[in-house]
Every structure is written in C-alpha cells, then in structure tokens.
Chain A
Amino acid sequence: MQLTGAQMICESLLREGVTVIFGLPGGAILPFYQTLPEYPDLQHILVRHEQNAGHAADGYARASGKVGVAVATSGPGATNLVTPLATAMMDSVPIVALTGQVPRAAIGRDAFQETDTTGVTAPITKHNYLVMDTADIPRVMKEAFHIARSGRPGPVLVDLPRDVLTERAEFDYPESVNLRSYKPTLEGHAQQIKRAAKLIRDARRPLIMAGHGVTISGAFAELKELAEKVQIPVITTLLGIGAFPGEHILSMGMPGMHGQAHNNWAIERSDLIVAVGMRFDDRVTGRLSAFAPNAQIIHIEVDPAEIGKNVGVAVPIVGDARRILHALAVEVEPATHADWLKEIDVLREEHPFVMPESDRLLPQYVIRELCEATDGRAIVVTGVGQHQMWAAQHYVFKEHNSWITSGGLGTMGFEVPAAMGAAFAQPERTVWSIAGDGGFQMTFSELATIAEHNVPVKFAIINNNSLGLVRQLQDLFYDRNRVAVEYSGNPDFVKLAEAYGIWAVRVTDKAAVRTAIDEAAAVDGPAIIDFRVEREENVYPHVPAGGSVFEMLEGPTPPVPSVPSVPPTSDEAHAWRK
C-alpha cells in the first residue's frame, strides 16, 4: 500500500493503540495535520503551548500505562518540548514525540524554524530519530513505541522533515522489532534471586524501598506478597507512592529530604535494604557516605546503569520488578521480624509525624480534607514545591496509578497540563490537580483547552502568594534573607477562572474547605479552588541538601511566627536545628 509519510504516521499511531494525541501545529508538521481528518479515530487535542502537549502526554501515559503522544512543529515547537521530554526522561515515562523538521534539502542551512532537534534532545530522550527516508517511517515508528514502553520506559522523539511527510512510499507495518543493540533483560537471574533470598533470611532489620519501577511494572501484588510473607516494612519513594497501599500496616511512608522522620531513622538502623525499581536519588539518600551505614543492599532494577551508580550493592538483580519480586516471594521463607517491627513502632513514637494544629487555614489541612473527601481514590497530580511535599505526606492513596508528580526533574507547572492528560486517560476517575500558585501561573494557559473540552479536572491551588519551598530554604539556610520569592501580584484566580468560563471559589477559612471541595467535585467539568493558605507554613521534616539523617529538622522549634517582624539573626535561624 502506497501512502504519504503523514498517512504512515497516522496508520502507525493507530496500530500502536493510540487514541489521543496532544499537539500544536506549525509549518513543518503541517502535512501531518492536513492528513488527520482522514483518521477520525485519532483525537487531537489542540494545546496552547507545546510544553503543555508534552506534559499532557506524560500525565496521560502515567495515568493509563500507555504511551503518550505529543506533536509539535520544528524549531520553537520542538524546543518547547525540551522540558517535558527531560521530565519524562528523569521519571521513566513512555512518550513518543513527533516533531516537524524543515525539508531535507534545507537541513543545516539555518532555515526558518530550523533546530537540530535530535541534537538538542539526545541527552533527554531514551532515543531519537531523524527520518530521512519516507520508507523508514513504519520501522522507526515501531521501534519508537517499543523503545518508549519497554525496559526502563522513557521518551522517544521522531523528527520528520516536511518533505518526508509528503513523499509516498510502500507502507508495511512490521510485526515485530529487531534491534540487535536493544534487548532489555526482564527475567532476574536465578542465582542472584537465591542469593537475595539468603540475605533476606539472615536479615534482622530488613526494609523494602519501593520506587516508580514497581508501579511501571505493575508489581503491586508481588510487592505485597513479599512484604507480607517476610513481614518487611515498605518505604515508598516519592514516585513509589501508591506502589504499596498507604493504609497497610507495613506501609512506612516516604524517605529522604521531606520524608517522615522515622523512615530515615529506620534506614539508618536497617541491616538490609531491598530496593525495587528506584535509583537512590540524592533526595532519598542525602549524603551518600552517611546513607544506610549498617545495611547491605539488594537492588532490583531494570536499568543496569542504575546499579552501583550511587550506592554499593551486595546483590544486583537486573530485570522486571514484577517477575523478580514474584520469584523472590516464592524463594523466601516466611518470617515475622517482630522485634524489628516493635523497634520501628518506637521510632514512630519518638519521631512522630504530626499534623500541625491551628485555627488558621493550613495547607496540610487542605490536603487531608481532600484525601477524606475523595476517600483516597482520586488521581492526584501535583506541581513542584511545598504543596507537592504536603500532598506526598498527607494524601493516603488507596489505589495504584493515582499519584502523578514530577519527581526527578522537579518541573513546576507540570500540575496543569499533566492533570489534563491524566483526565483524558481516565475519564471515569476524579482527577485533582494540587497546584502551587507559582507553578499554576507557569502553565495555566491550558485552562483554555480544559474549558474547550470540558475536562473535569479539579484544581486545588495551594496559594501562599510565594515560591514557598524556595522561601523555606531562604528561611532555614540563608538567615531568612528572602529574595525573589514573594508573589505579591498574583491574579485573582477566581476571576481568572471566570474568564475561561470555569467554576471557581476562594477559600480563606478552615470551615469552608470541605464544602468547597464537595462543590467542586459536583461540578460537571473543571473547577478551581483558590485556597489562601497560611503563608509561613514550612514542610517538615527537612534534611538539608547533602545532609544526613542526623541533620534532619523534624519541626519548627520555636514555632514559626505568623509574620516575622524583625529580621532574625543567624543564631536564631540556626536554633531551629535540632
């Protein structure tokens, strides 16, 4: 069958099971857009900024487990995809990005809207292609989707010169992929699994640290089986939240910089860490030399390059988390670890994670109410900053694939387009975007798209009129020298919503929180709640960057004054340290 390159792209997308794509057209990618009407099964969502197309594809992928697709034109269209591609790369999210490119003959001549897109995106994609022959499109598309979703997933970009899209060639979509240089290991090595089981048998203070890999491989049942059989407490990393039921008796919460304090102390005491689908990020480990000083580490990970990158590993097991956890659960002997679990209970008592009490509207309270109102079953999408950490700490998830956050790259503004993408992926589920007033203003142009399609995303803006986490860093570690963190000119978010025709309400009072949440939930379509929260609230615990558990600030001592009247001295700032 002879098809144009543009038709081949559409045919390929359909064959890969794509139904929704997010994009914004331009000259170089136009042949693709002109072909779209021939393919009504491909729903194209026209965004307001290419960055948002990328994040929407990301949110779509994380909420559905399928590959998200973003489309942009050459030059600025493609460079606007840089942030979402880097975000997806860091968090192992399968995205295929299609970008237009200037015609082949113009490449390298600094043509209008020309950028070396494959060059620019090489370090932030799992792989990328510049297609120079229309006949290559079926193979390239097949490979792109395969690479994006297999092994350790990640973004793949396909750059398409305009004349490659218009030329005709024979379309024969390959049944399978044959890449001699890419065959991810999935089955864990039996010998290593035996060695791991032996270490687990001999351990007295074992911990499981579960990361995003558990969610990606769908290893929920296997993780639970292993944890319950050997009675090992489970710590979930920021992206591992939701990999293990938050209400389970063995669930510990989050480790690291803003994790619950008892987790960091438990890691300090542990003699064996079973790390699954996580990469010992610096936000988890703090200072490496002081991380888990008493523990041996079993590292289960699909990407061999992550093993031994940051911490020394006693037993590496390369492969798919689900298969390995299953094999390991079969191999291990049941155990109780009663003493260790008691020790952890004592740690919990000594380092309690308490909800601060206040008559004022605290952001943590908003998250707790949101969790209660949604019964812990909403899809929660966040931006980056204090609100993200509070959401991670206070929203207790009952369902998997429900926590969507930019962990590795820490991309502010992710919360708006990613929530939109998640809502397209899971129209039956409630999607709450917990947003910061800073991040929200980076990408709220997508409210137009959300309104157009009446996407039922509910926004909870945790509005403290500042870049709160940066302000917190300045307060704790820079003697309260507040620079460039106050947002004194925020728009009236309720009026802003009105401009888009979106339902909105402002909440300044604790008593009004639940009513507002319930009202927003009842709206048939998007809704925005502007929570004017306590501005001086900080996220605790806080392990200083590069610090260890011993430098962890577990809470404000003395309590934070509502508005600091006198600039504090350096001594006072340091008196907060425990």
Chain B
Amino acid sequence: MAQVETHTITALVQDRPGVLARIAGMFSRRGFNISNLAVGHSETPGLSRMTFVAEGDEWVVEQVMKQLYKLIDVVQVYDITAENIVLRELALLKVRSNAESRPEIMQLVDIFRANIVDVAKDALVIEVTGDEEKVDALIQLLQPFGLREVMRTGRIAMSRGPATTGPRKGVKPTIDHSAPDTEVVP
C-alpha cells in the first residue's frame, strides 16, 4: 500500500453544542479524509482543543484548514506536522489470559511500559500510551492471546519547548493569507 501523506492539525474551538457535528459534517461534505479526531477541554474555559489527522497533499490540507477556520465556532487552526511535536494516544486493550499465558503477557506489558489496570480470572485490561506505531505493535503482539476489545483515543499532539498553540502566545496559526509577516487576529 502506498504511504498516504498525513498532516496533524490542531484547532481551538468554542465549546458549544453541535460544534463537533459541524466540523464532522464539513469534512464529510467536502470529501476530506480525516483518519483521526480527538477532542477535549483546553486550558481556557469555554474553548476545546481538537487534534485531527488529515489525509492528503498540501493542497487538500490547506483547504481542510481554511474550511475549518471558516466555521464560526473555530477560533484557530494549526498545522503542526512540521513542528517538533510529541504525539500520543492512549489505548485500553482487553486480552484473554489464563494462568499459563499471564506471565508472557505481563512481560510484553513491561517491555511496552504499559500497565495492567484490571485482572480477572480469564482476562486482563491493559492500558498503553504512545504513538500509533507503538500501540499498533502491542496490539499485534497480543493478537495471538485473543484480543477481545480495543479502545483507542486517537492521536493528540503538542509542540515541544515553551511555544504553545493558543490565543495568546507562541506558535503562529497556519491560516493566514493577508498578513504573512504578522500574527493573525483570530
């Protein structure tokens, strides 16, 4: 399979009912492929931060961001793909286990610096964080034991260092055509 070009986009949005539906609806009607979406509260009350992974070339991603920015509830949009960023996702994995297989699973959990958060006679719940490759790798290794349920949060991302994406300081928003040399007023 050919490698699909992906971009990690974060957006600061007004925390209002329907905002997620608006964004999801915009993606689908404009034919944008979003492989990943994570939402949560931000450091500012009333604002949520979203992380998207958009598939497509630069033209597609530019359109994704502009169309996002056009939505009234979206405050700022950042393409942080090129930034030095930390990427993480969290997964909960329920694996069949018995006395015989448990030690082997626990060894894998150790290697992946994951945690066992629930133990039953015939099952374990494992919590793992990391980038997608790491989570994928653990899932693959656990398959043979009988993977019963997988729950993944999707990717969240943050730039390294003191710079932040936000309304007051730091990383410049990507969307800005009129004023390439100045910071855009959201």
Task: Give me the interface of A with B, judged by CB distance under 8 Å.
Answer: 118-119, 122-123, 126-127, 130, 147, 179-183, 185, 187-189, 191-192, 303-305, 307-309, 316-319
Contacts and interface: CB of A to CB of B under 8 A. Distances in A.
B181 A191 contact: yes
Nearest to A313: B177
Given A130-B18, A305-B63, A305-B66, A147 B75 contact: no
A147 B73 CA distance: 12
Point out which of A185, A192, A305 has the most chain B C-beta atoms below 10 A from its C-beta.
Answer: A305
A44 to B, nearest CB: 28
Contacts of A147: 72
B13 A181 contact: yes
Nearest to B13: A181
A122 B59 contact: no
Nearest to B76: A181
B59 A180 contact: no
Contacts of B14: 180-181
Nearest to A189: B178
Contact of B75 (A180, A189, A318, A319): A180
16 contacts: A119-B18, A122-B21, A122-B22, A123-B25, A179-B72, A180-B14, A187-B178, A189-B179, A189-B180, A192-B178, A304-B66, A304-B175, A305-B66, A307-B66, A316-B177, A318-B177
Interface string B36-53: 000000000000000000
A188 B180 CA distance: 12
Given A130-B17, A317-B178, 8 more contacts: A118-B18, A123-B29, A180-B14, A191-B181, A304-B178, A307-B66, A308-B62, A319-B178
B185 A183 contact: yes
Nearest to A185: B178
B186 A181 contact: yes
A126 B26 CA distance: 12
Contacts of B93: none
Contacts of A123: 25-26, 29
B169 interface: no
A259 to B, nearest CB: 27
B70 to A, nearest CB: 5
A234 B153 CA distance: 54
B74 A181 contact: yes
B72 A188 contact: no
B171 to A, nearest CB: 18
B146 interface: no
Contact of A304 (B69, B73, B186): B69
A182 B175 contact: no
Contact of A188 (B13, B63, B75, B178): B178
Given A305-B63, A305-B66, A181 B22 contact: no
A122 B178 contact: no
A192 B69 CA distance: 21
Given A188-B178, A305-B63, A127 B72 contact: yes
Contact of B186 (A122, A183, A191, A316): A183
B69 to A, nearest CB: 7
A463 to B, nearest CB: 37
B170 interface: no
B103 interface: no
Nearest to A190: B179
Contact of A303 (B26, B70, B185): B70
Contacts of A318: 177-178
A408 to B, nearest CB: 15
B67 interface: yes
Contacts of B62: 308
Contacts of A188: 178
Given A130-B18, A189-B178, A305 B67 contact: yes
Q: What are the 10 tightest A-B residue pairs by CB atom distance, in nearest-first order?
A: A318-B178, A305-B66, A189-B178, A127-B72, A181-B75, A316-B177, A318-B177, A305-B70, A189-B179, A182-B72
